[in-house]
Amino acid sequence: MNRQYHTQMEAARMGIITPEMKIVAKDEGRTEEYIRDLVAKGQVAIPANPAHKGLKPSGIGSMLKTKINVNLGVSRDCKDYDIEMEKVMSAVDLGAEAIMDLSSHGNTQPFRQLLCSKCPAMIGTVPIYDSVIHYQRDLAELTAQDFIDVVRLHAEDGVDFVTLHCGITRKTISQIRDGGRKMNIVSRGGSLVFAWMAMTGHENPFYEYYDEILDICREHDVTVSLGDACRPGCLADATDGCQIEELLRLGELTQRAWDKDVQVMVEGPGHVPMDQIAANMKVQQTICKGAPFYVLGPLVTDIAPGYDHITAAIGGAIAAASGAAFLCYVTPAEHLALPNVDDVRQGIIASKIAAHAADIAKGLPGARDQDDRMADARRKLDWDAQFLEALDPETAKAIRDSRAPEDDHSDTCSMCGKFCAVRSMNKALAGEYIDIL
């Protein structure tokens, strides 16, 4: 690596402002020194593997704009990589800052390498998913070294961050078997680690060999995303002892990574009632010393299959306003099926709305500028300007065009027509006659 430092954190601690920090500072409207200082403290992560060519770096931290991640990847039942690439390009066009390849079938490496060569968004993976596929051996036949080698493979391929379920140990097996949870473990990676420990009798390899994994991540500047294997999968399990004990361990692992200049994000719940979300964010910030929090949702109710992009957007807005830095999108297909292209689009828009609403609530510089421009455009009944400011201009324009108003009040919409309050006020303030019939 032809540079003075291995990782963004090491550079920041050396007083070096990297090219990636400069890009993040410009995007966030912050000074370069402000970004460098937060990266040095671990409160902002810039996942940026040097092997990921064409990356558009983003900063992840609670004091920056809320970022969103899009999960993609093939499964045994849905294995068309061309469709997955279509989802990737749609996600990038809609403004997703990160793509996680969660493929669990077939030859995964060519797709992963394609992402790292063509996609400008940050790329994340979950190496334990790929381990069974890569070696074509069942879970119990894999060794700790096999898992470590797959982490290295993903780092060499260029991924910017890896989710590692380091926080569960053999003690967790007893906790789960003793009962008390309705949904046990719902994390796919967490369940695989649990199953491997249960079948082999060995300790979690991602915990036992954590230092060796950190050395790999340091060498390739791969950010560790500490997976929450014990995240609640239903409201009844939210903020229970199993979840909190794992979080305590993740706090310890965060510090161990920082000691090696490895950047860290911490993953969080999950299914959480609205009244517990803010507390979850504050507990994480305290235990993990301000490391960026990366949350799935949270989903605020368990009974909305088909609409979980909405339940997640509600929770995500509260979470981000309360300190979460990174929202993993949820689609209408959550709990039901692999999302299709339209599901991905709906999930991204819902998550973007949540992130933007939270940024306004946090009072970030410039967060409300687009909303203010939209208000101006609405006051003027300037429809083209409204579409320009819309998060999803294509859908907004299609709805208006499909139900256009009549010609004598074409400046309004078909909801109010000549009863339009904006039209009436504009005419009244201009001293014009206001025709209603």
Domains, the chain, ordered by start = 48-362 (3.20.20.540), 403-436 (no CATH)
42 is in an annotated binding site: no
Q: What is the DSSP string of 183-207?
A: S----HHHHHHHHHHHHH-PPPHHH
Does this model's pTM top 0.85? My answer is: yes
229 is in an annotated binding site: yes
What local confidence, expressed as pLDDT, does residue 105 receive?
82
119 is in an annotated binding site: no
- Give percent of the chain with pLDDT exceeding 90: 90
What local confidence, expressed as pLDDT, does residue 80 receive?
82
165 is in an annotated binding site: yes
187 is in an annotated binding site: yes
Query: Average model confidence (pLDDT) for the chain?
Result: 95
Tens-digit pLDDT profile for residues 188-226: 999 999 999 999 999 999 999 999 999 999 999 999 999
> Closest by alpha carbon to 164, among 190, 131, 142?
190
40 is in an annotated binding site: no
- Say which residue the tokens 């019939």 belong to: 437
416 is in an annotated binding site: yes
335 is in an annotated binding site: yes
75 is in an annotated binding site: no
Q: Is the pLDDT of residue 164 over 60?
A: yes
378 is in an annotated binding site: no
Q: What is the DSSP string of 104-163?
A: -SS-HHHHHHHHHHH--SEEEE-HHHHHHHHHT--GGG--HHHHHHHHHHHHHHT-SEEE
211 is in an annotated binding site: no
238 is in an annotated binding site: no
129 is in an annotated binding site: yes
Tens-digit pLDDT profile for residues 281-294: 999 999 999 999 99
78 is in an annotated binding site: no
